[in-house]
A = this chain, B = another copy of it.
Amino acid sequence: MQRIFTNELSTHVGARVRLAGWLQHRRELSRVTFAVLRDARGLAQIVVEGDAVAGLLPETVVEVEGDAVAAPQAPGGVEIHGPAFRVLAEPDEAPPVELRRPELKEQLPTLLDHAPVALRHPRKRASFELAAASVAGFRAALDARGFTEIQTPKIVASATESGANLFEVDYFGRPAFLAQSPQLYKQTMVGVFERVYEVGPVFRAEPHDTARHLAEYVSLDAEIGFIEDHRTVMRVLRDAVAGMVDGVRARAASAAELLGVELPDVPDQIPAVDFPAALKLIGVEGELDLAPAHERLLGKWAQREHGSDFVFVTGFPLAKRPFYTHPHPDRPELSNSFHLIFRGLELTTGGQRLHRYEEYLGALAAAGQDPAPFDAYLQAFKYGMPPHGGFAIGLERWVARLVGAKNIRETTLFPRDRNRLTP
């Protein structure tokens, strides 16, 4: 008999079926036991007369054959009667996380320490279904716009963003580093494919433990050639984010429903405000960058004034931007850069990059950086590069904001930070 999944039960009422999964818990009444089986797609209630499941630990892996019977009071409206069990694997002990609860009650450190089990909880795993669906939507949106997917090296010879926050690798006896972003390579690849994207890990040796930073995260990167300026990039980013929302709607609707996620509308024109005006709006002055509190205020402003979950802030002061940032053509102290704030949190940074060789030499000199480690990268510009720009979206941040998680670790499978290297 072919195994079916728990979410297929409703189309098999009246039939004998085979299920497989984990015995999540059992409730023993005087005459029957209600056992709950969990598989990758949901839960099923099994009515057991006799002692077939007596003594089985939670998370015992079983196959079960039984009759699918309509039962309005059961989860999903169907339960299994007359079950015959086959135990596939017995756990060594009961798990340290109580998976039977509708919501896990354990504290975050406990859940992270026991992630291999905690992630099995339907609400925990739902976040990662949202992540997978978002990535699929991101790719679909960019594929439809003529982008080529690339994979670039993570072991690199020099810093991307700055010399700070770099992890050093012992590379056959000499020092190398983990890429802080695919920035230099995705720019290089604009010379090859014009429009590229990459979904992959990036590494930041963040010295501080915060609720919004990780030492390793998944970055959704795109880079686009032959742009007018950063506004071309912002339009593509808008479409990529809309694609991510579409991806969730198409592929992870039940996970979103389980978590009560209200999917955002992505406006055709996301409201945009330039940096000096943004500071004024929130009543601060003299800043060179936005602090988290500023982002929250701007998020509220966008919601209040435009009914938008998203707001662009453009034209950040050049002083705090990476060396490859293109200055504003008329106000060289500002830049053709932007942040996209989603529900009060910076989701994305992006902008137009420099594209001329001599500009790079000048920018590196101005930043006090030796150009030698960038030789290979600078080849792209030495041999002709079009105006271009791009952006990067932090996947875990996106999902955290979607589900309203307070800590980014809640939406990271196996988070890495200065204190956490396992599981």
Contacts and interface: CB of A to CB of B under 8 A. Distances in A.
Of residues A39, A151, A156, A416, which shows the largest number of chain B Cβ atoms within 10 Å of its Cβ?
A151
Contacts of A358: 92
A248 interface: no
Interface in A171-219: 171-172, 174, 176, 178, 185, 188-189, 191-195, 199-201, 203, 205, 215-216, 218
A319 B347 CA distance: 49
A143 B151 contact: no
A376 B112 CA distance: 10
A148 B119 CA distance: 14
Copies of this protein in the complex: 2
A307 interface: no
A59 B95 contact: no
Given A119-B192, A155-B416, A383-B116, A171 B167 contact: yes
A143 B251 CA distance: 10
Interface stretch (A257-265, A287-295, A328-336, A384-392): A384-392
B226 A3 contact: yes
Please classify the interface of chain A as helix (H, G, I), strand (E, B), loop, or mixed, using the class held by over half of its residues: mixed
Given A148-B129, A192-B125, A200-B201, A154 B154 contact: yes
B357 A421 contact: no
Interface in A82-102: 88-93, 95
Interface string A266-295: 000000000000000000000000000000
Contacts of A128: 148, 150, 192-193
A51 interface: no
A384 to B, nearest CB: 4
A162 interface: no
A199 to B, nearest CB: 8
B382 A92 contact: yes
B355 A20 contact: no
Given A167-B169, A170-B168, A414-B185, A136 B143 contact: yes
Contacts of A114: 379
B39 A194 contact: yes
15 contacts: A60-B384, A88-B226, A90-B356, A116-B376, A125-B193, A129-B148, A151-B395, A153-B201, A153-B413, A154-B203, A156-B421, A176-B421, A185-B413, A376-B423, A377-B423
Interface of A: 3, 20, 22, 39-40, 57, 59-61, 88-93, 95, 114-117, 119-120, 125, 128-129, 131-132, 135-136, 139, 143, 146, 148-157, 167-172, 174, 176, 178, 185, 188-189, 191-195, 199-201, 203, 205, 215-216, 218, 225-226, 355-358, 375-377, 379-387, 395, 413-414, 416, 418, 421-423
